[in-house]
Amino acid sequence: MRAALVVALVVGLAACGITTPPLERAAGDATSATGSAALALRGLDDGDLTSAVAETTIEDAVTTASKAAREVAAYPAKNTREKQLQEQAVAAIADAVKDLHRARDGVRQPAQRASLVDRLTADRDRLDELTTKAGSL
């Protein structure tokens, strides 16, 4: 329900000519991807998700974050501040992608899940901060 509302809002804003800047959008996509993967691992531990659903969610997160990394790297920074933010975002997304790959393996290794959730949550928080900064450019 919440996701459908967000999609409807984004589509509506785009139709009105209001769009999110590319750097902010890509960082936001990576933020969402890491958050989804962390929730998938938690859901797996809580018994709310099957390992197949968790794996699919994490695979989707890897794809989304990898795409975001390419978008951020290709972003044509206009000034020093944007360039610095772009470099921070590239590094943060690269760290998140590494942790997402670890999370994919963590689906089958219950002992590692808690630490992976912590890492993904830290990645998400770092990316969220960068998304906010990108939105203020």
What is residue 22's predicted lDDT score, i.e. its pLDDT?
Answer: 85
What is residue 1's predicted lDDT score, i.e. its pLDDT?
Answer: 42
d(CA 53, CA 49): 6
d(CA 3, CA 34): 15
pTM of the model: 0.78
Low pLDDT (below 50) residues in the chain: 1-11, 13-17
What is residue 105's predicted lDDT score, i.e. its pLDDT?
Answer: 86
- DSSP line for the chain: -HHHHHHHHHHHHHHTT----HHHHHHHHHHHHHHHHHHHHHHHHHTSS-HHHHHHHHHHHHHHHHHHHHHHHH----SHHHHHHHHHHHHHHHHHHHHHHHHHHHTT-GGGHHHHHHHHHHHHHHHHHHHHHHHT-
